[in-house]
Amino acid sequence: MSEVSAALRDAAARLAAVSDTPRLDAELLMAHALGIERQALLLDPARFAVPGDFTALIDRRMVHEPVAYIVGYRDFWTIRLAVGPGMLIPRPDSETLIEAAIDYFGGGGPGRILDLGTGPGTLLLAALAQWPDAHGLGIDESEKAVAYAEDNAIDLNMDERARFRVGDWALALQGQFDLILCNPPYIADSEQLMPDVAEHEPAGALFAGPDGLDDYRRIIPDLPRLLAPGGMAILEIGASQLISVSALAEAAGFTVRCRRDLGGRDRALLLTRT
């Protein structure tokens, strides 16, 4: 067994106490320490020596610091997004919203895209990567998130097609959009989260009142005026919120469908005009 392979084995054994994906975490942190992609590490680990700072990275993960914050990025859909403390880390489950949009629009795609609660630009930049002729606007209440999103757009050569603005959801927003994407906070205030999330990610991007619905109540009434004819709004929901959020959307005049994520959980609420 090579030096790197042995170090990965030992690190994964340590991380098993704090992570559901200890081997993956160890590999990502080793690749980061080496300055290479994980694929290159897995292809031939014997080519490399264990970097001196690898143990320090594992120590950071052992106190529940998210891997994305340690390495400074998270891959999402077909793009890589810079992330850091104060950012909601993109989740694979949120790719369900992009999949639903592709099924609806096909190759032609939407012309104008709105991403409410964009964070580091997650959904907007993923959609723009899918449809090179589209343009979009991302809104977030956090100046830090908007700064990350703008930098990510530059890194992805999308800064001429993506604009970002600090704002309070759709308040005072004008115009219409073919595709509206939104991953709002939807966790009830009393819900207990894993330490990785609770101790590091911003509470304002996670919690939404006693029932987790506060932000849906603010967002959904604005959607009818913002959604262009023939367009679609797609909202991420918690796994138990299908009925409650659907009722809010139907009261606003939408036809509602749901798409499940790869784990079989209700994840994306698809809204079209009735």
What pLDDT shows up at residue 247?
A: 98
Domain 3-63 listed as CATH 1.10.8: yes
Contact 149, 140 (CB under 8 A): yes
Burial readout 243-272 (b: 16 or more C-beta within 10 A, e: otherwise): eebbebbeebebebeeeebeeeebbbbbbe
The Cα–Cα gap between 224 and 109 comes to 20
Residue 264 carries which DSSP code? S
DSSP run (H or E) holding 172: none
What pLDDT shows up at residue 98?
A: 98
| Residue type at 10 in one-letter notation | D
What pLDDT shows up at residue 158?
A: 98
Phi, psi of 236 (to 5 degrees): -80, 140
CATH number attached to the domain at 88-273: 3.40.50.150
| Residue type at 8 in one-letter notation | L
Helix axes 22-34, 3-15, angle to 10 degrees: 130
Low-confidence ranges of the chain (pLDDT < 50): none
What pLDDT shows up at residue 15?
A: 98
The domain limits of the chain are 3-63, 88-273
What pLDDT shows up at residue 274?
A: 73
Bridge partners of 193, per DSSP, are: none
What pLDDT shows up at residue 37?
A: 97
What pLDDT shows up at residue 42?
A: 96
What pLDDT shows up at residue 97?
A: 98
What pLDDT shows up at residue 125?
A: 98
